[in-house]
Structure 1
């Protein structure tokens, strides 16, 4: 991310974008070649076309797909079509889409007629990005200071960029060699996993490379021209996998010699050689007489706290199931629907119904914790006052050495039938046993309800 300019506007209108692009042209002139990648804002596209007439206008593919999925569904060929470097492969993918839905061609021609595919990019511009996520990186970098007033916000941005450039200058002082170390690591990682490529040498600087993973495709690599028929080397100025497969077969050949000068350490140092001048605080600024009274703009502001983070779409990682705000997404999630969760799975042996720290896991080695006996074991009958029947029940429960069931308790109170006479004999035999020889029962075991 290399910041060039920033401005403050109240809303994204065509007039404000024209003013910003005009000021940007005063700062950077109009270098050639130049490419400007914008989102789906029509006012921004018109401003770039009017101010930078000779620039290549690109459109962010992510914003295009956000509008595409609202009208068409089930087209997985759009992403490979946008990422390919070859025009033949692009036409093959788009032909499949146009056969399924002919109206896609008219929609792209009317609403998204800018360059969003890599095969149409100018190879002289060594940038193959199909999205403008770099702008989102800058937005995330300054999201904590957006609430500051305009003057303090501008001063804080200047300070952050000043520190950033100072840090990059110190990094450049420690760099050695011709190519940046980050590019070397990328090329070293790309040299792994080239077993699907077969090199058929034709000369010292040119060869054929057979790709056995994609229908036995063949590509021609010319090292002295830094070209490959896959067109990736021309767009990125870094050797593609076909060129790396050929370079690694050569002796005494350095991969860095085939990397463009834009990735050199010298260019890196030249980009951050300028010094952003430090400034004093507002109390030491010189007073300037303004011929008119400048007041704050009357911008429209919505009710509630302003949102800082961008709402992620359904196709992004960590996004919601739709382009809803946080409040609407939470309301839609809990709109009369209950959350149903499946049984938990133990990671030790894969059985369901318990976790790895549970006593149910046979591989854990823990036991179920025993509860302590209750202090007050006499359970009062609910919603019942002190009556002679209740006193008789408590007396039987306290004086009986054995287990008293509900049916036996009803018989002793005179509520049972003659069929329970054998229980009386059993109770008399138990009561004839001395208390010292009988098993000591806890108060909890005196009452058993069956």
Structure 2
């Protein structure tokens, strides 16, 4: 992507496009080899025709197919017809379309008069693009900054292009001068693989016949000294086709770079990014200029809502899928002026499909709930019930004391004891003795008749 010119207009009209093309002509002049590829916009088509009458006007094949498939179905011959470099292949596919429906071919000739097929392109212009996808790449490049004001947006785009050019300028001066770009050579070397279906019949050191046995037997003539091949791909792109690659790799000691057009050279790459984009200060340091007229606000009426960032997808692509998070909020950006809400969301947080619109109750006819929902006033459950509290396990308090007395604790025994308490006495007081020794119904008293039990030491077991 090589950013060349950009402008800010309110709407795509013939006057605005004419103004833009006039400014572009002041910047690049009127080169003899110029091709302009546009979409199906009539204003842009007329502007290019008026400002650049000698330019080759091309039409984006993608926009053409979208308009074509709205009216006609089942014409797969239009794709190989647009991509073919040879006129005989183009007319063979068009003849098949005429045999199926002459109305479809007549519609193409009436509504799409610009060049949309490769065989009609000028081979001197080393560009075989049939779509304008490169413009969508620039649109996606500046997508995050489209909400800025016009002055800030222009300054941000200038900064991005300045950084891009400086980066590629540094790359250009690291590459060897007089050679072909390494990316092009890497692409050509990758294309040399898988050429076993081609048979070489040499005629001389610079010309040969190449037999293609892939689908049907085809024979092409390759002339290296003239840089021509009868498949015409080499003439249009400037890069050797598969027939040339098969013949060049068949020989020994032949450099592949000499068969690549100078368009892909390092010298051209340096010249493209040799000019520097001047840095600028912020708006506070700009010079004050007294204009003889008053600059007012634009007369165009801005639409309601936020501005669109993503391009409008056609009906063939299915449009943008709206993403909904777990909390039910739309997380997709650039969905247009209205955005999305929970009722029209297509997917939830787990990626499952949801109902497209608000549901309708079959009983009351209101939207927002189902027939068995508690919100319906006709099924008797419209009011929200209070949450049922769990029952508490309430037991009645016993009026009498428990039948078994509570065993006193160690602290109570020591507190109520009149004298010294030995281990045997403490055991008897805690109830560890016999039932005859303790009285469970009488209060605790110190016994006086029981003798203390002798403690015999434990015997140690000696093992040899």
Instruction: With the length of structure 2 as denominator, give the TM-score of the two structures.
Output: 0.69
Label 1:193 to 1:42 Cα distance change in 2 as closer, same or farther (>3 A).
Answer: same
> Of 355, 358, 369, which aligns to 1:334?
355
Structure 1 residue 188, shift from structure 2 partner: 0.6
Match of 1:3 in 2: 3
Mapping 1:317-396, distance limit 5 Å? 327=340, 330=345, 334-335=355-356
Deviations 1:356-387 (A, max 9, x none): xxxxxxxxxxxxxxxxxxxxxxxxxx9xx9xx
- Is the deviation greater in 181-190 or in 101-110? 101-110
Label 1:330 to 1:119 Cα distance change in 2 as closer, same or farther (>3 A).
Answer: farther
Match of 1:130 in 2: 130
The separation in 2 between residues aligned to 1:299 and 1:187, in whole angstroms, is 50
Label 1:219 to 1:267 Cα distance change in 2 as closer, same or farther (>3 A).
Answer: same
Runs of 4 or more consecutive aligned structure 1 residues displaced over 4 Å after TM superposition:
314-320, 324-333, 335-338
Structure 1 position 297 matched with structure 2 position 318 = no
3-state SS, counterpart of residue 295 of structure 1: coil
Asked if structure 2 preserves the Cα contact closer than 8 Å seen for 1:199 and 1:207, the reply is yes
Asked if structure 1 preserves the Cα contact closer than 8 Å seen for 2:81 and 2:90, the reply is yes
Asked if structure 2 preserves the Cα contact closer than 8 Å seen for 1:313 and 1:319, the reply is no
3-state SS, counterpart of residue 250 of structure 2: coil
Structure 1 residue 306, shift from structure 2 partner: 2.0
Deviations 1:334-358 (A, max 9, x none): 34799xxxxxxxxxxxxxxxxxxxx
Match of 2:366 in 1: none
Instruction: With the length of structure 1 as denominator, give the TM-score of the two structures.
Output: 0.72
The separation in 1 between residues aligned to 2:265 and 2:5, in whole angstroms, is 24
Deviations 1:306-354 (A, max 9, x none): 221113345559967xxx977598579834799xxxxxxxxxxxxxxxx
Match of 1:87 in 2: 87
Structure 1 position 18 matched with structure 2 position 18 = yes
The separation in 1 between residues aligned to 2:180 and 2:316, in whole angstroms, is 36
Label 1:222 to 1:318 Cα distance change in 2 as closer, same or farther (>3 A).
Answer: farther
3-state SS, counterpart of residue 3 of structure 1: coil
The separation in 2 between residues aligned to 1:155 and 1:235, in whole angstroms, is 37
The separation in 2 between residues aligned to 1:251 and 1:337, in whole angstroms, is 73
Structure 1 residue 112, shift from structure 2 partner: 0.5
Mapping 1:7-406, distance limit 5 Å? 7-176=7-176, 178-313=179-314, 315=316, 327=340, 330=345, 334-335=355-356
The separation in 2 between residues aligned to 1:250 and 1:327, in whole angstroms, is 63
Structure 1 residue 287, shift from structure 2 partner: 1.4
3-state SS, counterpart of residue 252 of structure 1: coil
The separation in 1 between residues aligned to 2:182 and 2:318, in whole angstroms, is 29
Deviations 1:85-113 (A, max 9, x none): 01000001111111111111221122111
The separation in 2 between residues aligned to 1:316 and 1:123, in whole angstroms, is 33
Equivalenced residues, count: 341
Larger C-alpha radius of gyration, 1 or 2? 2
The separation in 1 between residues aligned to 2:76 and 2:340, in whole angstroms, is 31
Asked if structure 1 preserves the Cα contact closer than 8 Å seen for 2:13 and 2:43, the reply is yes
Unaligned runs of 5+ in 2: 322-334, 347-352, 360-387, 392-464
Label 1:330 to 1:211 Cα distance change in 2 as closer, same or farther (>3 A).
Answer: farther
Label 1:314 to 1:197 Cα distance change in 2 as closer, same or farther (>3 A).
Answer: farther
- Is the deviation greater in 200-209 or in 99-108? 99-108
Unaligned runs of 5+ in 1: 339-381, 386-450
The separation in 1 between residues aligned to 2:95 and 2:226, in whole angstroms, is 32
Label 1:4 to 1:278 Cα distance change in 2 as closer, same or farther (>3 A).
Answer: same
Label 1:44 to 1:287 Cα distance change in 2 as closer, same or farther (>3 A).
Answer: same
Label 1:266 to 1:318 Cα distance change in 2 as closer, same or farther (>3 A).
Answer: farther
Deviations 1:23-68 (A, max 9, x none): 1001100111110000000110000000000000000000001100
Structure 1 residue 175, shift from structure 2 partner: 1.0
Label 1:271 to 1:115 Cα distance change in 2 as closer, same or farther (>3 A).
Answer: same
Deviations 1:395-442 (A, max 9, x none): xxxxxxxxxxxxxxxxxxxxxxxxxxxxxxxxxxxxxxxxxxxxxxxx
Structure 1 residue 271, shift from structure 2 partner: 0.6
Label 1:154 to 1:333 Cα distance change in 2 as closer, same or farther (>3 A).
Answer: same
Asked if structure 1 preserves the Cα contact closer than 8 Å seen for 2:66 and 2:316, the reply is no
CA RMSD of aligned residues (A): 2.6
The separation in 1 between residues aligned to 2:221 and 2:358, in whole angstroms, is 59
